[in-house]
Structure 1
Amino acid sequence: MKALQLEQPKTWKTVDIPEPSAPAAGEALVRIHRVGVCGTDLGGYLGKFPFFSYPRIPGHELGVEVLAVGEGVTNVVVGDKCSVEPYINCQKCYSCRRGLTNCCEHHQTLGVMCDGGLTEKMILPARKLHVANNLTYEQSALVETLAIGCHAVDRAAVKSGENVLVIGAGPIGLSALEFIKVAGARPIVADISETRLQFVHEKMGVNDTLKVTGEDVDIEQLDAMTSNQRADVVIDATGNHHSMARSLELAAFGGRVVYVGITQQNLNFPHAPAMHRRELTLMASRNALSRDFTRIIELIEKGTIDTQPWITHHAKFEDVAASFPSWTDPETGVVKAVIHVD
């Protein structure tokens, strides 16, 4: 059975792997139809993502079809189209026992710490499948990206009417944007790329955008947009430690700052004038919860979330190695690339 493996950074290899066996109790055999590509995959390709190991079969944003189920499986049946929740948790640790399955102490993300879905078929825990029969396989593959933003906005407890600044207009920042709009808040999107900001304005209907430079003018422009209040919530989706440290300066007094991007660098910021004086709440947001997947599928079905602007690039399975390098450059206009496995 064919699979695509990152043998090492920037090196793709087509490999043959064994056909999966029959699903055991609690498991399901699925056929992979679509695989979405996100910043995690791009970081893994470039050798820059903290949790990625090699060699690895990537693929965690999956649109799949159920081929067989094991004993005791009742949440899906053969023929169901599903989105996959790719966070494999142990169900036994302290985090899991408290329902914090997104930050399981023994967490494994498909395609990052263990092999993922850039292959034809695979066995998955049936509890990680979310029925999406009214969605296309492309939409099903998009659900996981949206779930990251959904969880970040939930962490921030965004309220209607608040000013919410999203720093980083890549897929994760855009996923947070969707749920800021659902919450009835006012989104402001900042990025260093004029191309991305143009996309946000024209395709996603955001009136307030800010091309950041790292200089004081950024704060001056935000002050002008918010009557000198700055942002009630700042969601940093850059993964850049300079941006993440500076994000505290962009928050309102009593504001909340959420790091949804990931960096391996230490963060240095002034405590007294930025953190303490403003009495900020600083938090991380990792992965998503099962309920987020259910909610997102329903929002797409209702048309509350329009997926049409999201998918900008496609590639066949056999063309991935040739296409992937261009997807690392945001100036090519890539927002979400989708790989067709079938």
Structure 2
Amino acid sequence: MKYIVCEHPGEFQLKEKAAPIRKENEALLQINKVGICGTDLHAYSGNQAFFTYPRILGHELASVVLEIGKNDKGIKAGDKVVVMPYVSCGTCIACINGKNNCCTNIKVIGVHIDGGMQEQITVPSNILLLANDLSDDQMAIVEPLAIGAHAIRRANILPGETIAVVGCGPIGIGIMKLAQIAGAKVIAIDMNEQRLAYAKEKIGVDYIVKAGEHAASKISTITNGDLCTAVFDASGNKFALEACPDYMSHGGRFVLVGLSKGELTYTHPKIHAKEMTLMCSRNATTEDFEHVISVLDQFPTESFITHSVPFTEMISNFDNWLKPETGVIKATVNFN
């Protein structure tokens, strides 16, 4: 079978190998579609944390079960399934406390272990969710939306809150829409005017603000000086991350969803005066995936997926997906 491997930063190769053989408590899946996310882009560019080469990328998967043993979810051959790509140990302190999304021994498919950019893959049966009512396009975006759902649940967003989301990439857009579904008013912040326009026109955010030195004063004007009770960073950009507390109200929450490899600096008196709650949000849980599946009909999947190519054309197109000027929001790779 064919697969694509990222041998080194900036280098993909299309290769062939034998199809995998399913072990006990595993499922053999046929991959129909793979979503490309920021992790894949960063890995290809050489600036992804927790990453080694060579690696088969791909963890946003639309798949069909080819083989599976007895399982407590009643999944059988022929079923469409969403893959929760976080393989946890089940025995560490995080797993015992129900936080397997940040397991101390976590292995993320497509990051720590080889992912779905191949025609078939075997995965543990317990990380599958039935998705027979979803299209391949919908299945391929459940995982990034679940990232947003987890962040919103971490922040305990309530109806009527005014929140800010920094970064109008796929994760940020997901947070915006899911926050709206939770009843919040949303301010979208980004440097890219095309993506801000998408957030306004397709997601329906309440306000858009261009990032920069005047962003905080604009947010203050929008909120009558109160600022935002929760601020989510979905950019992973150092300068954006360090500016986020300026958008946050006294008593507010700052949620780090995007990942930066470097150090961040904050002025302690400024964040202390606001009694800022700082929290990180990593991956997602079964609860988050199930929530996304239940509200996916409210998400504009068709406009969200802006680029889609056959598997054999991925390598020649990947460089373009690194360029904001191409208008890419979510790219997908098709196997059928």
**Structure-2-length-normalised TM-score:** 0.98
Aligned residue in 2 for 1:212: 211
Give deviations 1:179-221, integer Å, cap 9, x for gaps: 11111000000001111101111211123000012x1x21111
Give the alignment of 1:1-342 within 5 angstroms: 1-21=1-21, 23-72=22-71, 74-213=73-212, 215=213, 217-273=214-270, 275-300=271-296, 303-342=297-336
Q: Larger deviation: 68-77 or 10-19?
A: 68-77
1:70 Cα deviation (Å)? 2.1
Deviant stretches of 4+, over 3 Å = 71-75
Contact 1:145 1:171 in 2 (8 A): yes
Distance across 1 between alignment mates of 2:190 and 2:93:
38
Distance across 2 between alignment mates of 1:251 and 1:178:
20
User: Which one-letter code corresponds to 1:177 in the other structure?
Assistant: M
1:309 Cα deviation (Å)? 2.0
Contact 2:84 2:143 in 1 (8 A): yes
Distance across 2 between alignment mates of 1:211 and 1:257:
19
1:20 Cα deviation (Å)? 1.2
SS in 1 for 2:31: strand
1:114 Cα deviation (Å)? 0.6
Q: Larger deviation: 291-300 or 277-286?
A: 291-300
Q: State, as a whole percentage, how many aligned pairs show the same letter.
A: 38
1:73 Cα deviation (Å)? 5.5
SS in 2 for 1:153: helix
1:290 Cα deviation (Å)? 0.9
1:245 Cα deviation (Å)? 1.6
1:241 Cα deviation (Å)? 1.6
The number of residues matched between the two structures is 336
Distance across 2 between alignment mates of 1:185 and 1:14:
45
Contact 1:24 1:70 in 2 (8 A): no
TM-align CA RMSD: 1.1
1:129 Cα deviation (Å)? 0.8
Contact 2:57 2:115 in 1 (8 A): yes
SS in 1 for 2:180: helix
Distance across 2 between alignment mates of 1:207 and 1:247:
19
Give deviations 1:288-313, integer Å, cap 9, x for gaps: 0011111211212xx23332221110
**Structure-1-length-normalised TM-score:** 0.96
Distance across 1 between alignment mates of 2:207 and 2:73:
46
User: Which one-letter code corresponds to 1:158 in the other structure?
Assistant: I
User: Which one-letter code corresponds to 2:54 in the other structure?
Assistant: P
User: Which one-letter code corresponds to 1:289 in the other structure?
Assistant: T
Distance across 2 between alignment mates of 1:83 and 1:72:
15
Distance across 2 between alignment mates of 1:161 and 1:291:
23
Distance across 2 between alignment mates of 1:34 and 1:130:
16
Distance across 2 between alignment mates of 1:201 and 1:168:
13
Distance across 2 between alignment mates of 1:28 and 1:190:
41
Distance across 2 between alignment mates of 1:250 and 1:280:
11
Contact 1:73 1:126 in 2 (8 A): no
Give deviations 1:254-275, integer Å, cap 9, x for gaps: 00000000011111011112x1
Q: Larger deviation: 91-100 or 304-313?
A: 304-313
User: Which one-letter code corresponds to 1:193 in the other structure?
Assistant: N
Distance across 1 between alignment mates of 2:139 and 2:260:
28
1:326 Cα deviation (Å)? 0.7
Q: 1:74 to 1:250 in 2, by over 3 A?
A: closer
Distance across 2 between alignment mates of 1:295 and 1:153:
11
Distance across 1 between alignment mates of 2:53 and 2:74:
33
Distance across 2 between alignment mates of 1:248 and 1:328:
28
SS in 1 for 2:189: strand
